[in-house]
Every structure is written in C-alpha cells, then in structure tokens.
Amino acid sequence: MKRKPGFKFLMISLCLVLMVSMFSGCSSDSTKQDAANQQTEQNQTSKEQDTADSPSAELTFKPGTYTGEAKGKEGALKLEVTFTEHEIADIKVVSQGETAGIGDAAIESLKEQILSGQTLAVDAVSGASQTSEGLIAAVEDAVSQAGGDVEALKNRAVKKENEGKVEQLEADVVVVGAGASGVSAAVSAADQGAKVILIEKTATIGGASNLSWAGKFYNSSASISDGLKVEVEKEIAEWIYNNHWRVDAAAIRQYVTQSGETYDWLAKKGYQTTFLNFAGEPLHVLPSYEDRQPLLRAMLHASVEQNGGQVITETTAKELITNESGAVTGVIAEQSDGTKLNIAAKTVVMATGGYAANKEMVKEAFGFEGVNGGLGQNIGEGLKMAWAAGAKVPDNFGGQMLHQTLARATDKLKEQYSAFEASYPLMLTYLPNFMNVGPSGARFRDEAATLEAVAAANTSAFNGPHHLVIVSQSQLDALTKKGMNGVHAPKLPGMPPEFYAAFQEQFKLDTPWTNAQQIFDKMVENGDGYKGNTIEELAKNAGMDVEVFSKAYNNYQAAIKNGVDTEFGKAKEYLEPMSGNGPYYAIIAEVNNLGSVGGLLVNTEFQVLNDQRVPVKGLYAVGLESEGVLFNDTYVGNGVGIGYSFTSGRLGGERAASEALTAK
C-alpha cells in the first residue's frame, strides 16, 4: 500500500482505537470481531453486577424532604429530594443556572434515571458532564442528610433496560449528529422526499450552535437590504490567497456564493437570524438561546417527522455498515436504554462535529491539547467510523477552531469570589495594554492581537498551549482605583457575551476593581498564576528562563519609555507603563479551542473521498468534519463555523437525498 501523509496518524489512531474502543479498529472484520468480544465481556460484567448488586437490595432513608446542594457548570445547583423509608421518591430543582437546552436537558434525563433505577450509578450526560456531576453530587448531599448509604447507591448497578435488544430500521438517508449541519442535512433531505432518520448522541438538538453567537451568510437578502454587498470575487481570491492556495477553491466559492440562500432558507423555516454589519462582515445573529432548540426541533418535525422519518436522540452511532463493494449501506447505533439499532440506508451523512474533546487526538494531530471550549461529546467517533469505511484522512488534518483565550484562574476563583472579581485575570487576557510572553519568557506578539479572537488564540498557540500576561503592582493599583480606565484600556474586553452575562452591570471601563490584590494573590495560591517580588523571581516562580524573560522585560521597558516598540510595532497608546517595583504577577492564559476542523475530505457534492480521492459510495459529510476544505491549517474566520454548518448541511442533505432517491 502506498503511504501518504496522514497515513501514520491514521494507523496509529486506528490501532489505538482497536485497543481501547469496542467499535473501531484497523479493518472492518477486526472491528466486528473486537466489538463482538467486548460485547460478550460487557454482557458478562453486567450479569455479574446484576447478581452482586441487586437493584432490589433494600435501601433505607429517614423519610422527608431534604435540600441538596452542589456546584454545577454555572454556579450552585440546589435540589429538594424527597425520601420514603425505602425509596428516593422525588427530585425537584429549586435553582440552577445551567446552559439553556443543554444543562437542563441533562438534569431531566439524570433525574429520571436516578428515580427509575433507584441508583446513583448513572453516567454523566454527554455534552453536560459538569452539570451531570453537579446534579449527582447534590442528590448525594441529600441522601447523606437522609441517612442513606451514598456508596451503596453508587455501586447499585442497574442493567440497561433493553440491553441485548436489537431493532432493524430502514431509511433513504441516515444523518448522524444533530448539530446545525446535521439538522440542516436532515431537513433538506426530507424536503427532497427522502425518508430520513437523524440520530443524535445527546438529548439536545443543535450541538455547538446552541452556544454560538452569529453566522456568516454572504450577500443574504438581509445583508443586501441593509446596504452591505460583499464583492464575491475579491472575497474568494483573498480567502484562497490567505490560506496559501492549499484549499479547495470550488468549496470556498460554493460557500461564499450559496450561503446567502441559507439565510432565506432558515428564515422561511422559522429560524430567523438578525443581520449585523460587523465592520464590513455580513454576520447574522442567531435566535435567542432559549428559542434555538425549539426552532430546530420544529424544522425537524415539519420536514423529517411529518414525512415518515424519525429523530432519535440519546443514540450513539458506533459503526458504518458497508457492503462487499465498499459502499456505505447503513449505521449501527446504540440507544441509551441499551437497544442496538441496525439502520439500513441508501446514503449516510456524517455530521458528528469532530474530535476536539478527545485530548489525545488533538495532541497527536495538532501538537497540543489547548482547552476544549466545545462540546464534550465530540470525541472523533464519526471520523473513526468513516475512516474505517475507507475515507481518506485529509493531508491538512489537524486544524482547530482556536478562538480567544481563557484564564486558568477563573473557575476556582468563581467558587471563592463574585463572577466579576473572579473574571479579573480573564479580562486582562483581552486587553492590549499588558506585556504577553510565552512559556520561555520571550515576548511573542503585538498584544493588540488580543483585540481579535482568532488572532489572539492563534498567536498564542504558535508559542505553546498557554502564555503569560504580566501585571505589575502599579497596574494592579490603577485597576483597583479606577477599573480598566486606570490602565487606559481602549475598550471593554472582547469576550463572548456569555462570559460576562453574570456581571453585565459591573462590566464597564470605570468600575473599580475592588479586592484586585486579594484576587491575584488567591490566583497564585490556587496554582493558576505566579508572583515574584522581582522580575527574576517571577521568572523563576513561573518556570520561565530568567535570562530570556529579563531581556524581554528590559526591551519592553525601553519600548514603553521611547514610545516605540521596535520588536512588534505595538501602538504607542498600548504601551502602558509598568512600575519598576514589585511584586509582579503572571496570569496563565490558555488557548480556547471551539472545535476541530476537518477530518473527512469532501468534494463539492459533500461526498466523502477515499485515498484515491474518489467518492466512497453512499457516504457524505457536512459541518465541521468536512470544513478542512476551506482552511489550509486552522480556522480563520468570523461566523464561518455557523454559516458553513448550515450551508453545507442544506446542500449536502439535498445531494445525499438525490443519490438515495435515484438508487430507489
């Protein structure tokens, strides 16, 4: 076999997968064998558990209603749990601030599992692990108060209701993954007359679009009526040039010229976005967070379900079915109750959103993990299934959607201080007025890059998974007294709105940063930043090279003094003075990775290509997993993630339906 770039990665990952996963492998035969072996082992284990920890073993509680509390993803989660003498009778949520549509769906699903199984041996819901852990911990808290045995409840394994059950289903088109791209593909395929089955791993519809802000649809009717007409040929030429010609020019053209129609298509279906001329970029702000999921569900209902198709959630695709000639003819999936679905289909559309939550894969493909700011359930299963069915690993595989930076300190500080105070270190990672250095201590950019999300993240990533923001005592004093005005911040930190939703009132340039010293000392005490009385001491404490950092610091001081940054050309107004006296602090700023980009090479019909760049019959891909055709390495864009997901889904679904219906 001729080896190609990417082959090594493919073989390593596939073999690793063979070792650790029950559903993937180096060949489809070994996959099946492996899966069969592991399935037997699993069945044995659950049988053993059934006898060892019988669900009927008696539980005892002090009857009554108890308030259980724990930390969720977005602060405290408070429950009222009612016990009878031998039963957890009811769980009521008193207060929670979890992500609309994701966290609350997880809470409902877990409540149901705990009550019906009378167990705490429940799995965290994919995509909402922190919320799940919070809910389980809050129930544990109440169980303890009611004198119940938490450990016994945690070990009380309950066999999945339908383990061993197999169902056969049939569709023209199966779509795997219900993010923006999968929903669009399912809807547009159904609109062509295809019977569609959409399967989704979680209880949530909409995937990462539920967390997003806006999408780019070029020259949409809304954009034109607002007076913004993008020069298409110029846009395409610059896009190709900026990505060093290592892109699929036809795919870019297709997105730029056809995304406008997607805006109208969505609006007609009730998913109304709001046009925003964002400094010349045609962005379209998504509906309110609460409305998005219901709107997508309504689209699916009107097109997929009304036409005989199905939307099956809490169901994970495990393997693609292929025939003797290598064509993809269906999907094997597993429902949360243990039922195995064998779904026969004429075409399959992969829309599983990539692998950003799979640390090992990101490290192997990209060089480091960063922080996964995307969906926790996107672990590359869809890509592995498609590769096992003959799809090519693209030559530019490894691209990520690096967006903004995060301060490692935020989470722990949120447990100890108000959301505003806890976000002090985070806010400074978005201001151009502070010295930024890489892990070695060398300065690495014009810090004005922090004003733009993609530039901020990519300049940092080029220097490693994190960088350090240096803050002097005089700067801290100025922040304490006069807020961000004290350090001449040019504008509010450009963080996504959800980052400051909890302190909107205080998020102003002139709000004094009370307690700043205490917060920064706590950050250091928590191990999420460093402090030194001198520059040398800071370098030592932060693990930087003393000589490298001292030199960078001295050069930066000279730039401040002279008003000229000869190294990086930072504008004079951002060369904010730093006191010569310590202490100094270093904030650990990490790269936020919103998703992986690419993994399946597609043509403009969204057919997945094999190693010979010929379509794998019956297999399509849309959304992030097909997005490597637009970018040379990593994502460069504003709104392209959403714009392309909806557009590729709309077009890819249409084409998958057309092939399926011709094959009828």
Ligand X SMILES: Cc1cc2nc3c(=O)[nH]c(=O)nc-3n(C[C@H](O)[C@H](O)[C@H](O)COP(=O)(O)OP(=O)(O)OC[C@H]3O[C@@H](n4cnc5c(N)ncnc54)[C@H](O)[C@@H]3O)c2cc1C
Binding-site ranges for ligand X (CB under 6 A): 127, 176-182, 199-202, 207-209, 211-215, 316-317, 351-353, 373-375, 377-378, 381-382, 594-595, 623-624, 639-643, 645
- Nearest residue (CB) to ligand X, 284 versus 445: 284
Question: What is Dmax (Cα atoms) for the chain?
Answer: 78
d(CA 468, CA 350): 39
Cβ 600 to ligand X shortest distance, Å: 11
The minimum distance between CB 617 and ligand X, in angstroms, equals: 21
Complex with ligand X: residue 178 or 560, whichever CB lies closer: 178
Q: In this structure, are residues 205 and 299 in contact, taking their beta carbons and an 8 Å threshold?
A: no
- Give the phi and the psi of residue 237 in degrees, each rounded to 5: -60, -45
Q: Which is nearer to ligand X, 215 or 486 (CB)?
A: 215
What Rg value do the Cα atoms of the chain yield, rounded?
Answer: 26
Provide, rounded to whole angstroms, the least separation between the CB of residue 208 and ligand X.
3
- Of the two residues 317 and 542, which places its CB atom closer to ligand X in the complex? 317
DSSP string, 303-332: HTGGGT-EEE-SEEEEEEEE-TTS-EEEEE
Which residue, 460 or 638, is less far from ligand X as judged by CB? 638
Nearer to ligand X, 214 or 538 (CB): 214
Q: To the nearest whole angstrom, how small is the minimum distance from the Cβ of residue 303 to ligand X?
A: 17
**Closest distance to ligand X from the beta carbon of 371 (Å):** 11
- Using the minimum distance from each CB to ligand X, give the nearer residue, 119 or 400: 400
Assess whether the previous peptide bond of 583 is cis (omega < 30° from 0): yes
Nearer to ligand X, 402 or 539 (CB): 402
Q: What are the structure tokens assigned to 493, written together?
A: 């930190």
* Helix or strand holding residue 38 (H, E): helix 28-52
Smallest distance from the beta carbon of 105 to ligand X, in angstroms? Answer: 12
CB count within 10 Å of CB 20 equals 9
Cα gap 80→435, rounded to integer Å: 49
b/e for 87-116, b at 16 or more Cβ within 10 A?
Answer: ebeebebeebebbebbbbbbbebbbebbbe
Query: What is the smallest separation between the CB atom of 382 and ligand X, expressed in angstroms?
Result: 5
Q: Which long-range contacts (CB under 8 A, 24 or more apart) does 356-363 make?
A: 356/400, 356/401, 356/593, 356/594, 356/595, 356/596, 360/16, 361/13, 361/596, 362/400, 362/593, 362/596
| Of residues 398 and 595, the one with the C-beta less far from ligand X | 595
* H-helix or E-strand spanning residue 559: helix 546-562
Least distance (Å) between residue 374 CB and ligand X: 4
**Half-sphere exposure in the Cβ direction for 619 (13 Å, CA):** 32
**What is each CA distance from 466 to 363, 407, 434, 454, in whole angstroms?**
14, 9, 16, 15
Do strands 466-472 and 584-596 pair parallel, antiparallel, or not at all (unpaired)? antiparallel
CB of residue 207 to ligand X, shortest distance in Å:
2
We find the least distance from the C-beta atom of residue 348 to ligand X, in angstroms, to be 12
d(CA 593, CA 433): 24
For ligand X, the closer CB: 439 or 496: 496
Which residue lies nearer to ligand X by CB, 61 or 606?
A: 606
Distances (CA, A) of 84 to 71, 78, 89, 121, 146: 26, 20, 6, 20, 10
* N-to-C CA span, the chain: 35
Tell me which H or E stretch contains 151.
Answer: helix 150-154
- Using CA atoms, how far apart are residues 244 and 632, in angstroms rounded to an integer? 7
CB neighbour burial string for 517-527, b if at least 16 within 10 angstroms, e if fewer? bebbebbbeee
Closest CB to ligand X among residues 529, 623 = 623
Q: How far is the CB of 205 from ligand X (least distance, A)?
A: 8
Tell the smallest beta-carbon distance from residue 653 to ligand X (Å). Answer: 12
> In whole angstroms, what is the distance from residue 644 CA to residue 506 CA?
35
